[in-house]
Structure 1
């Protein structure tokens, strides 16, 4: 065993966040480290009914220096000792995150933007807890317009009230990119975080499978 943080992974006693597939983050600490295998204390606050199955993919995040790092991990084992521990195996590359920005993702979802009682249809380019970038065919929006946004996710539709931050014309495709900011409550924020995380993980899984099949 080692505690050096070799390979860029967090060292023993590092405080970490374990982010489950629903986007919810739980605090923990690294108890042991061996190569790409980390043992962490069972994350605080996870209900027994929400404990993932062995083999599940999740995210591990931690702060090193002044930067936040994250890596995809697979739940390799659940121990029965007291206190209980989770054995996690890194399955992806370490990436940098910034706490000041929301994680953005998605793309292609149906979106409806309503201005002055008229609804306009478009597609999501990307979205986050703090805003959405839409591709619209109609030139109907200006900066500071107050609009209602309805985004269709795999778990259902989200209805949000926002303000147009920026409009940019795409001359090549004769469309308009409309960036809308909004504030979300914890329930909506959690739904968007979970959705973005699932999309990212699915994309990385497809990329890994594509590389494996090509080999």
Structure 2
């Protein structure tokens, strides 16, 4: 029997991954800096409000998710070491063979496309930070009182030189001065729109992989 493909067994260095802190139910987007058989070092780059390296302890259980080949892969592990500060890093002890992910979550990529959200009788504009067929995070030029979590709304994304109109629901909003970082999940996405979103996400993943290899 041939050895398992190492690309599918561990995330690539410089790739993007999700780290789920099991005990707290939080998922954080991270940048993979070191990827070895027994150790993966990641630099968290974003997550829901409330995640803080100071609250994460060595020994905490984690699940690591990344795109390998044409599917999402997953690996369990524990926090081995924490580097705090302005640019934190988490050392994750891992072992065993990665598995095909069973989580019901769409693959996400760093994608920046124009966004329009109707708000307060006008239009709030901004750009996505990351995107999947199931939702997005976007940096918007906000004003007034932010929408509460669970608020239904419409959203228009500029994809492939066309506007894709979707229904969504606000997950959370983080105020950053004049801008709002907003997380939204999409609701009842039409099949054609879902296909367009998937194509754009996997294009971004391919472009990122090619840039890192160059």
User: Of the candidates 167, 170, 174, which is equivalent to residue 173 of structure 2?
Assistant: 167
Larger radius of gyration: 1
> Contact between 2:170 and 2:184, CA under 8 Å: does it hold in 1?
yes
Is the 8 Å Cα contact of residues 103 and 128 (structure 1) preserved in structure 2? yes
Alignment match, 1:157: 163
Q: Any stretches of 5+ residues in structure 1 without a counterpart? A: 11-57, 69-93, 210-215
Q: 1:188 aligns with which of 171, 193, 197?
A: 193
Deviation at 1:146, TM superposition (A): 2.1
Q: Which runs of 4+ in 1 moved over 6 A?
A: 94-97
RMSD of aligned residue pairs (Cα, Å): 3.0
**Number of residue-to-residue matches in the alignment:** 130
Match of 1:147 among 145, 150, 153: 153
Residue 139 of structure 2 is aligned to residue 135 of structure 1:
yes
Q: TM-score, normalised by structure 1?
A: 0.52
1:206 pairs, out of 203, 211, 214, with 211
User: Any conservation in 2 of the 1:141–1:178 contact (CA below 8 Å)?
Assistant: no
Instruction: Tell me: CA distance 1:190–1:6, structure 2 relative to 1, closer, same or farther (3 Å).
Output: same
Query: By how many angstroms is 1:4 displaced?
Result: 2.7
| 1:3-42 matched pairs, under 5 angstroms | 3-8=1-6
8 Å contact from structure 1 (residues 162, 181) kept in 2: yes
Question: What is the Cα deviation at residue 7 of structure 1?
Answer: 4.3
Q: Which runs of 5+ in 2 are unaligned?
A: 9-67, 76-96
CA distance in 2, matches of 1:59, 1:198: 13
Structure 2 CA distance for partners of 1:203 and 1:113, relative to 1, 3 Å: same
* Alpha-carbon displacement from aligned partner over 1:137-188 (angstroms, at most 9, x marks no partner): 21343123221100111252210011111111124xx421111111212221
Task: Spell out the pairing of 1:77-88 with structure 2 (5 A cutoff).
Answer: none
Shift in alpha-carbon separation, 1:5–1:162, aligned structure 2, 3 A = same
TM-score, length of structure 2 as denominator length: 0.52
1:52 is matched with none
Find the aligned partners of 1:118 and 1:177 in 2 and give their Cα distance: 18
2: distance between equivalents of 1:62 and 1:126?
16
How far apart in 2 are the matches of 1:95 and 1:107?
Answer: 26
Aligned counterpart, 2:111:
107
